[in-house]
Amino acid sequence: MPAESSNTPVAKFFKPYTSYGFYYNPAQPANKEFRRLYKHMGWQTPRGIEPCRASRIARFQFGQALIQQFQESFGKDVDSLDSWQALCAAVYIDPVPDTLEEAQIAFERTHVNLLDLTENHINKREIKRFPTVKALSEYTKGTGRFFPRDDVQEGGLLCHLLRHINNPRIDDEALKNGGRRLPGGKWRGRHAKREGGWR
């Protein structure tokens, strides 16, 4: 495992499981490795049966590791120009905007999977951009690459980037009608009402 990959929050999450014979492969998608861990540990339960406590704890800790990985790469502050410029650079926006508002507008009109974005600093794979939130939704559902949204800090940078994967029409209509995303994922302008289904 490369040195830079062994010290990431995601790698640190998986490390204790080596004592159970599980070895994390950073070249693989993190969600795929978590599913492999789930199977390795025998945590699968029939549909409708509540998961065991160990698996619930592991799922929570895995989500925290992904959030921490994102924050180490891009920061937490929704008003940080450096953070927004780093995000723009990561998704190939060229030239990178010089002002906070320009960077926010450029990125919020760019649709990428948050797991792909977060893991890019580990595996350096190209981040796929999507023309609409609907297209992003189809990719996310098809690959199972959902970002753990439940513990994302309200009002922080990461919260600002969440999309309605389960109801992409909300985001697409708001953008089409000139809406602007505000901290916390709210919208300004027409079609500003938000509904559930973040990812």
Average pLDDT over residues 27-53: 90
Query: For residue 53, is pLDDT > 50?
Result: yes
Confidence of residue 40 (pLDDT cuts 50, 70, 90): very high
Domain boundaries, the chain: 3-188
**Residue 188 pLDDT:** 40
Q: For residue range 55-65, list pLDDT tens digits in order.
A: 999 999 999 99
Q: Give the residue with greater pLDDT, 72 vs 172.
A: 72
Confidence of residue 44 (pLDDT cuts 50, 70, 90): confident
pTM: 0.80
Q: For residue range 94-114, list pLDDT tens digits in order.
A: 999 999 999 999 998 899 999
Query: For residue 144, is pLDDT > 70?
Result: yes
Least confident window among 12-21, 72-81, 154-163: 154-163
**Residue 175 pLDDT:** 67
**Residue 104 pLDDT:** 94
Confidence of residue 153 (pLDDT cuts 50, 70, 90): confident
Query: For residue 141, is pLDDT > 60?
Result: yes
Q: Are 170 and 199 in contact (CB under 8 A)?
A: no
| Partners of 180 in the β-ladder | 188
Share the mean pLDDT of the chain.
84
Average pLDDT over residues 188-197: 36
Rounded CA-CA distance 151/145 in Å is: 17
Q: For residue range 65-99, list pLDDT tens digits in order.
A: 999 999 999 999 999 999 999 999 999 999 999 99
Query: For residue 9, is pLDDT > 90?
Result: yes
Token output for 62: 């895995």
